[in-house]
Amino acid sequence: MRFTAVELIERKRDGLALSPEQIEWLISAFTSGEVTDYQMAAMAMAVYLRGLDAVELSTWTDAMLHSGETLDLSGLRGPKVDKHSTGGVGDKVTIPLLPMVRACGVLAPTLTGRGLGHTGGTRDKLESIPGLSTSLSSDRFMEVLSTHGMVYGGQSENLAPADAKLYALRDATGTVPSLPLIASSIMSKKLAEDLDGLVLDVKTGAGAFMPDPARARELAATMVGLGKAHGVATTAFLTSMESPLGREVGNACEITESIRTLRGEGPEDLWEVTLALGSEMLLLAGGVSDETAARRMLTRAVESGEALEVFRRVVQAQGGDPAVVDDPSLLPAATRRARVRAAESGYVSVCHALTVGIAATRLGAGRERKEDSIDPGVGIRILAKPGDRVERGQTLAEVSYEDENRWEAVRDYLAGAWSIDDHPPDAAPLIGERIRSSEMD
């Protein structure tokens, strides 16, 4: 059956549901170029204003994931579980998490993305390791995964290509915040991985892509529902992004912190989120009976050194220099240093994640436009977080940078990330609600 873009745009504009056949035709025709960019931009705005019901969203996501190649992992023995984060400042969880999960016997494939704006990209962080490439062909992706039980892949242009085209239009037409379009964008790529289980880390708070808790929860529930509809056991956690996660914000410096975490020396907040997500991955894989047992397994994988050894082998398999695992000083490092100091004594009440993330981006650690290059050696080390007592003149953060003009432009802005009060703040929970597909109606 043949349709026209105009009739489908008008139908959605008027608040009517699109049939599965109409959606499948639309996505296919957009991928091939039959539906023009300006027509799909109009459809994106109609979806932004009118939304998609559950059937429409499931069909839309399915059409997106089948718009290009998909992975076939059926030949690999064992459960395959991945993790996805909606992004945050200092969020390097994927890097230590996957080796820990793999050391517990679960296959852990992942397709990582690049950073844009104040949230860093796992792919950029990994590629700060000299020689390491995440640009793997499908054959090479499968070879690393089958040999080592995990792989850090990069999102391919051939995987869900309709999503890449549509995202570019959404970015230029003010429709990025559309919840169904966000959910289908994330899940179409993850479902194309042929997974048995998926854990989602949905950030909320000042430094999150979706700061409003109610909207973040709605997004989490929507994505879990999509996973369930496509036969993939899915769990979403709502986690806080009011403050940066861990102590390091940048690229190479976050690899260093990831290595420390794999040695059992990572910061408490990063360790807690990694354990929570990893435990759920093991539960979805079916290898443990409860969360306590899962946490013990992950902790043993770190204490025994096996998780670090998995990381070393995968780094080498993907062309990276394994020596950095023993000596992180081999990673890129900016040559200039500066300090942010406390203007008064008291307790840190706020370390604003968004401000820190934007400052790191402006110093060169991230991209404000897709075509921007990044400096992997730029970083901000957070030395004072909410609840810490500081004295006037004490160092709040150490900054590594190259461009003096950039530092002068961002110095005062970064200093504004910290608020200091007379009394310690109330402790805020790091990990909030957990939504499981197995518990959904």
Catalytic residues, by residue number, are 84, 163, 170, 185, 189
Per the DSSP assignment, residues forming a β-bridge with 304 are none
Q: Report the alpha-carbon distance of residue 325 to residue 263 in Å, rounded.
A: 10
Residue type, 23: I
- Spatial neighbors of 277 by CB under 8 A, at least 6 apart, are 83, 93, 97, 199, 201, 237
Q: Which long-range contacts (CB under 8 A, 24 or more apart) does 409-414 make?
A: 409/362, 410/359, 410/362, 410/363, 411/338, 411/340, 413/355, 413/358, 413/359, 413/362, 414/340, 414/355, 414/356, 414/359, 414/380
Secondary structure E strands in 278-430: 336-341, 346-351, 379-382, 389-390, 395-401, 418-421
Q: Report the alpha-carbon distance of residue 113 to residue 84 in Å, rounded.
A: 10
Q: Report the alpha-carbon distance of residue 433 to residue 182 in Å, rounded.
A: 20
Q: Report the alpha-carbon distance of residue 374 to residue 134 in Å, rounded.
A: 16
Q: Are 209 and 81 in contact (CB under 8 A)?
A: no
- Other C-beta atoms closer than 10 Å to the C-beta of 30 total 24
Structure tokens at 138: 């499908």
- Spatial neighbors of 5 by CB under 8 A, at least 6 apart, are 26, 29, 35, 36, 39, 40, 43
Per the DSSP assignment, residues forming a β-bridge with 85 are 201
Q: Report the alpha-carbon distance of residue 360 to residue 365 in Å, rounded.
A: 5
- Other C-beta atoms closer than 10 Å to the C-beta of 271 total 19
Cβ-in-10-Å burial (0-12, 13-18, 19+) of 95 comes to buried
Q: Alpha helix (H) ranges present in 243-360?
A: 252-262, 268-285, 291-303, 306-317, 323-326, 353-360
For residue 242, the 8-state DSSP code is: S
Q: Which of 185, 176, 166, 180 is CA-nearest to residue 41?
A: 166
- Other C-beta atoms closer than 10 Å to the C-beta of 34 total 12
